[in-house]
Amino acid sequence: MAKRPEERVRELREAIRHHEERYYIYNDPEISDEEFDRLLHALERLEADRPDLATPDSPTQRVAGRPVEGFDTVEHVSLMLSLDNVYNEDELKAFDERVRKGAGLGDTPVAYVAEMKIDGLSIALTYEDGRLVGGATRGDGIRGENVTANVRTIRAIPLALRDGPRGRIEVRGEVFLPRASFLRMNREREDAGEPLFANPRNAAAGTMRNLDPALVARRGLAAFIYQLVADRDLASVSHAGTLTTMRAWGLPVESHWRRCDGIDAVVAFCREWADQRQTLTFDTDGVVVKVDDLALRERLGATAKFPRWATAFKFPAQQATTTLLRIDVNVGRTGAVTPYAVLDPVRLAGSTISMATLHNAEDVARKDLREGDRVLIEKGGDVIPKVVKAILPHAAGSEPWQMPSACPVCDSALRRDEDEVVWRCENTSCPARLRRSLEHFAWRSAMNIEGLGSSLVDQLIEQGLVRDFADLYQLKASELEDLVVAPREPRSERARPRKLGKVGRNVVDQIERSKRNDLSRLIYALGIRHVGEKAAATLARQFRTMDRVLAAPVEALQSVSEIGPVVAASVRLFADEPRNRELVERLARAGVNMTSQAPEPSEQPGPLAGKVFVLTGTLASLTREQATEALERLGARVAASVSKKTSYVVAGSDAGTKLDKARQLGIETLDEGAFRKLIIKGSAGL
């Protein structure tokens, strides 16, 4: 007997959250990525068929809305203090003496909890009756920025607690980038010619302050929770007990914490992890030491800056010297050509280092790095190896390094804009660019080719089946069925290389389906530098065909609203490369749609031109994207936050603080019925 949709939705949500915990919190997955994705897609389909079953705490609602214009400021329920630091064992023991003296304990040992110090961004999360309703950065400790939309994208953070307390509570922790995510993100920034993040702390802070939740979701942030702030007694008497309780609620609590009876046990813990920290999947720069007894904490109190009951023991920085054997260059997806150092292998921070980043040609020149030099290296944030400086004098007979004039892979001439430091290969079909370009081409917001992931892309390139985007449309199901694909980052040791089989046929079906995509998706998928989703949609809507886009002079491109000189010049540069034109022609011959399916832009302003709308809550009959599209089609602008410039606030079910702010400012609010009437009236031209 088929289950009712309500029952199936509940089962799917429980299963998805269970597997999110196994993977993101316990690091012990029970199913493959593909099986997890099937569960999530099944839930998405059910909620699409039954919008009344969609709720704000559903796993499908982690990423919602469009980029915001800025962050509101929120006040913390209590001060978020910083931690004082100690740098050696003597200073750690001096901290213990201050604690015992302040508590009047004499020589009686104090119980502490020692935790890994996560190198990330402090965060405060608010739960109301077990549901996540807010997330804020530390800010100045009194007020922080409201980053709720970004927090919801972090899969380690539950949208609803398991058997959590009623009422309103706040938990605090650290948002960070796991090492794998940090390395991947810096590779992407290097490819794009953007400056690299120096360490995970900067990376997490930069990501959380990004105004686009969808981009935040792609970067792979994680989180650990270590403190509970409640407005009522939850019967906890110790920090160890609180950590255990929070983990039982489904919150991500870092598992290596230890209750230590006395400072000697704390010292032993710090020594142990100074050696073992490289075995962790995240970056840590020390150990946080906290008094376990919560009542004792109250007696000890805090200074104006730091709690007296906690401190941070910092691990010493690690550097090494070695020989710079040669300087090579790497070509990324966007064509950015960046130098890197090939080193005489040396042990550093628990691993053998044989390569290090050099950022760009100007960085090499500024440091005057030469092949054969002895150099000082360090791990930025204990993750990214980098060359700090050359140890003079230079190697005998050495000469300053020069960036090559041609791409080392396809031999196309390298170019550099006058206002940039990055050299680029403009050949889209360059093999070095191909792998990452194909991943972008298949991405959900581009051509949306489900199943064409990194492992399959690697095999297609290695087997010589795909040399550019157009080759994808020549693939046959029979070619992919027997293709063996190994997972790039297996979720468990049980993962093994496998034949694609039916999955291969499904990928070919997805490729065929992608031919019908709107022109805007194709423009974005081509990876034209500086052309994001919005610019691609604008170009497609304005010029209507790919031929017209590629034929448009810079002046015509730049005359389009929201297309500036940088984007216009980039599109023209792409179109002027003969191999890019040939690629587009082959895509067209393969049957890929080259026309816009969006309504033609009107010469007249829409009936809602000049109006600013803010959407809050859940609409039963429309998704947030559909409501936004309807408003923009009528000339309105949709903003993320309420201000004095807001014309209307559309309030669905479970409307949040935006509705309260609208009422405070006297801004007109519309329920779903009134909003639909306004849209219908505007569409009729009334």
The pLDDT, as a whole number, for residue 604 is: 62
Phi, then psi, of 272 in degrees rounded to 5 = -60, -45
pLDDT class for 628, splitting at 50, 70, 90?
Answer: confident
Integer Cα distance of 473 and 459 in angstroms: 16
The pLDDT, as a whole number, for residue 491 is: 41
pLDDT class for 494, splitting at 50, 70, 90?
Answer: very low
Q: If residue 31 lies in a helix (H) or strand (E), which one and from where to where?
A: none
563 against 243, higher pLDDT? 243
Residue of 364, 362, 422 whose CA lies nearest to 389: 364
Q: Mean pLDDT lowest for which of 309-323, 446-460, 496-510, 557-571?
A: 496-510
Phi, then psi, of 457 in degrees rounded to 5 = -60, -45
The pLDDT, as a whole number, for residue 686 is: 44
The pLDDT tens digits for 108-126 are 999 999 999 988 889 999 9
Q: How many CB atoms lie within 10 A of CB 337?
A: 26
List, by residue number, the catalytic residues: 117
Residue 435's SS3 state is: helix
Query: Parallel, antiparallel, or unpaired: how do β-strands 612-616 and 668-670 relate?
Result: unpaired
Are 6 and 58 in contact, with CB atoms under 8 Å apart? no
Residues 285-298: b if buried by 16+ CB within 10 A, e if exposed: bbbbbbbbbbebbe
The pLDDT, as a whole number, for residue 381 is: 45
pLDDT of 354 > 60? The answer is yes
pLDDT class for 482, splitting at 50, 70, 90?
Answer: confident
Tokens of 251: 């919150």
Give, in order, the Cα–Cα distances in Å from 516 to each of 444, 470, 477.
14, 15, 19
465 against 420, higher pLDDT? 465
Phi, then psi, of 342 in degrees rounded to 5 = -100, 120
Tokens of 214: 């969808």
Average pLDDT, the chain: 83
Residue 328's SS3 state is: strand
The pLDDT, as a whole number, for residue 62 is: 65
Integer Cα distance of 251 and 160 in angstroms: 10
Residue of 280, 300, 282 whose CA lies nearest to 290: 300
The pLDDT tens digits for 281-338 are 888 889 999 999 999 998 999 876 789 999 999 887 677 889 999 999 988 777 889 8
Tokens of 113: 């909890």
Q: What residue has token string 């499908």?
A: 60
Residue of 121, 119, 206 whose CA lies nearest to 172: 121
Most confident of 18-32, 46-60, 538-552: 538-552
Strand ranges (E), 492-616: 498-499, 612-616
Most confident of 121-130, 199-208, 447-456: 121-130
pLDDT of 553 > 80? The answer is yes
Give, in order, the Cα–Cα distances in Å from 605 to each of 541, 557, 558, 675, 685.
16, 21, 20, 20, 11
Tokens of 289: 């030491």
pLDDT of 69 > 60? The answer is no
Domains of the chain from N-terminus onward = 5-61 (1.10.287.610), 85-314 (3.30.470.30), 321-415 (2.40.50.140), 426-514 (1.10.150.20), 519-589 (1.10.150.20), 612-683 (3.40.50.10190)
Phi, then psi, of 204 in degrees rounded to 5 = -65, -45
Tokens of 295: 């009542």
380 against 577, higher pLDDT? 577
Integer Cα distance of 403 and 125 in angstroms: 48
Integer Cα distance of 453 and 442 in angstroms: 8
Q: If residue 201 lies in a helix (H) or strand (E), which one and from where to where?
A: helix 200-208
pLDDT class for 490, splitting at 50, 70, 90?
Answer: very low
The pLDDT, as a whole number, for residue 317 is: 62
Torsional sign, CA 622, 41, 179, 81: positive
The pLDDT, as a whole number, for residue 70 is: 55
Q: What is the mean pLDDT of residues 233-250?
A: 86
Q: What is the mean pLDDT of residues 220-229?
A: 92
Residue type, 76: H
Q: Name the percent of the chain lying above pLDDT 70.
A: 87
Integer Cα distance of 47 and 523 in angstroms: 30
Q: What is the mean pLDDT of residues 363-392?
A: 83
Integer Cα distance of 202 and 381 in angstroms: 10
Q: What is the mean pLDDT of residues 247-276?
A: 93
Give, in order, the Cα–Cα distances in Å from 269 to each of 116, 173, 273, 397, 646.
10, 21, 6, 49, 54
Q: What is the DSSP letter of 647?
A: -
Q: Name the percent of the chain lying above pLDDT 90.
A: 35
Integer Cα distance of 296 and 305 in angstroms: 19
Query: Parallel, antiparallel, or unpaired: how do β-strands 351-357 and 319-331 relate?
Result: unpaired
Q: Mean pLDDT lowest for which of 48-57, 175-184, 242-251?
A: 48-57
Q: What is the mean pLDDT of residues 639-659?
A: 81
The pLDDT, as a whole number, for residue 324 is: 94
Most confident of 25-29, 490-494, 515-519, 628-632: 515-519
Q: Mean pLDDT lowest for which of 111-115, 242-246, 533-537, 547-551?
A: 533-537
Q: Mean pLDDT lowest for which of 350-359, 377-386, 449-458?
A: 377-386
Are 161 and 154 in contact, with CB atoms under 8 Å apart? no
> Is it true that the peptide bond before 393 is cis, omega within 30 degrees of 0?
yes
Angle at 206 between CA 282 and CA 387, to 5 degrees: 65
